[in-house]
Amino acid sequence: MSGRVLVVDDLVPNVKLLEARLSAEYLSVVTAMNGPSAIEICERGECDMILLDVMMPGMDGFEVCRYLKNSPRTAHLPIVMVTALDQPSDRVKGLESGADDFLTKPVNDVALLARVRSLLRLKFMTDELRTRAGAGDALEAGASPTEDDGLNGKILLVDDRQSSVDRICRSLQAQHFVVIESDPTAALINAPEGDFDLAIISMALEGYDALRLCGQLRAIERTRHLPILVLSEPDDERRVIRALDLGVNDYLIRPIDRLELLARARTQIRRRRYSVRLRESMQESMAMAVTDPLTNLYNRRYLTSHLATLMANASGGRGDLCLLILDVDYFKRVNDSHGHDAGDEVLREFAQRLKKAVRGIDLVCRYGGEEFVVLMPDTDSMVAFRVAERIRTTVAMEPFQIHRGQKTINVTVSIGLGTLDRSMTSPNELMKSADMALYRAKNEGRNRVVAHAA
């Protein structure tokens, strides 16, 4: 995995050492000798993550970290603080300033590279979500991973040592809701249904490989993106590095400092909630791309792609296919006489009646303006004609309310029916046959269904 790593340190030998280690792993390295220069590089988007020294003159690492994490433009950048400070209170201060991890000098090469790869994976995944969600503008306006306080999370604790469970629960329960599971198999079964914000897993489970549990959680769709924090023994560095390679998000070495546990839990929960917001935004964006905002029906773009698929299936001998084109009669008069707001009310109500009148297998789309299309797979022309008549009657039988119910008007619809035959080779031909039938329906007096005559 490649990526651009910014190394920030005021001492040239330290910069050169880290640059050589990272370059040997085919990572691109950018360097800065002070905080303000590092901020400029980050704001120009020239790095994917930061290795940040704490003890620098002028603007120290804590200040740089807080600045970057409080800026919507740079809040998503992973930051690892690299320093000679090694007390739990120093790590907590770094985590509370927004750092994703804290490495102590002299830095172990294997641990450094495992953490860099892990955070780059997270960064690239977040970037993809932000792109798909179209979230760049939202982030500029203030949405960032640090918006959430990371409190009141639902945490799954997998640990079979009662003394350890008691200590961890005492630390967490003032800020979070903790579900305890001593049986790893039961944890694997319950985790997908628990809607957890974080899983904390002991690496010292009796008779069960904790790494296998982590891998299994990553393999399940419902828990694939669940943050995992592992609790490790001091002499178990090799397995911690393996855990990071498997996709574990963070780790703590026993004995566990209470404040550091709380800080790391809040960091992971904030990140989890941010990624959930991004995924929800992405789903909304995808829905908006194929949905008409006025009627909440599928739009013309979705119709075009779906029609081609249904035609291919029908042409391959997997059922008939019919298509209806519907046009609201004299719709221009509604807009001219009652205003465009009233016209929008009619279209919304028309869409609701249309959805109620068709069958579950039918696809209803707004084609544009006052025109609508219904795709009817596995349907012959006789059944399609009956459905079309039901739609026409449903529209005509009851007046439409406008001006928020203060007035009613009568509305009718003309419908053209086209049926796929073997001579048709493109969606346009099927659309044209229904459109010709619609033209006849309007010429023959409107408020009627006409089937295209082959």
Q: Hey, which residues are catalytic here?
A: 370
**Who contacts 436 (Cβ-Cβ below 8 Å, separation ≥6)?**
416, 418, 452
Contact between residue 371 and residue 325 where contact means Cβ atoms under 8 Å apart:
yes
Calculate the CA dihedral of residues 340, 346, 349, 352 and round it to 10 degrees.
Answer: -90
**Residue count of the chain:** 454
**Who contacts 194 (Cβ-Cβ below 8 Å, separation ≥6)?**
154, 156, 179
What letters, b where the CB count within 10 A reaches 16 and e where it falls short, cover 88-107?
A: bebbbbbbbbbbbbbbbeeb
What DSSP state is assigned to residue 34?
Answer: S
Q: How many Å apart are CA 130 and CA 123, to the nearest integer?
A: 10
Beta carbons within 10 angstroms of residue 25's beta carbon:
14
Matching residue, tokens 């059922």: 319
Residue 255: cis peptide before it, omega within 30 degrees of 0:
yes
What DSSP state is assigned to residue 223?
Answer: G
CA angle, 12 then 13 then 17, to 5°: 115
Contact between residue 417 and residue 451 where contact means Cβ atoms under 8 Å apart:
yes
Q: How many Å apart are CA 135 and CA 279, to the nearest integer?
A: 10
Distances (CA, A) of 225 to 12, 198, 320, 432: 39, 10, 42, 47
Collapsing DSSP to helix, strand or coil, 352 comes out as helix
In 36-186, at which residue ranges do the beta strands (DSSP E only) sit? Answer: 49-53, 79-83, 101-104, 154-158, 177-181
